[in-house]
Amino acid sequence: MPGDPLNQPLPAPALRPSACPGLWRIVQALDGGISRIKLDAGTLSAAQAEAVAEAAQRFAGGVIEVTNRSNLQIRGIGSDHAGLIACLLDAGLG
């Protein structure tokens, strides 16, 4: 049968450089880079929270998201990945 969907060729698989962003692996998205900060036992000191907020303002879109695994995610990261990473490492994250 000519229009049978089961006989149609499969689309080419989409290439994804990495499905899981991390502190060291910033993944590109439509709104900029995405970085996930894994928190030890889901805890964050006030000083670390301030460092994350400062980094999000300085190097990204200023928004910090909490993931369903109790980690943090920064979206909209610009081109200065090294600056963001250094700022977070200085705060004892990563």
Provide the domain count of the chain.
Answer: 1
What residue numbers bound the domain in which 33 lies? 21-90
pLDDT digits (tens, 9 = 90+) for 53-85: 999 999 999 999 999 999 999 999 999 999 999
In a domain, 45, yes or no: yes
Give mean pLDDT, residues 41-48.
95
Q: What is the pTM of this model?
A: 0.78
Question: Under DSSP, is residue 58 helix (H, G, I), strand (E, B) or coil?
Answer: helix
In a domain, 61, yes or no: yes
Instruction: Tell which residue, 92, 94, 56, has the closest CA to residue 77.
Output: 56
In a domain, 38, yes or no: yes
In a domain, 13, yes or no: no
Average pLDDT value for the chain: 89
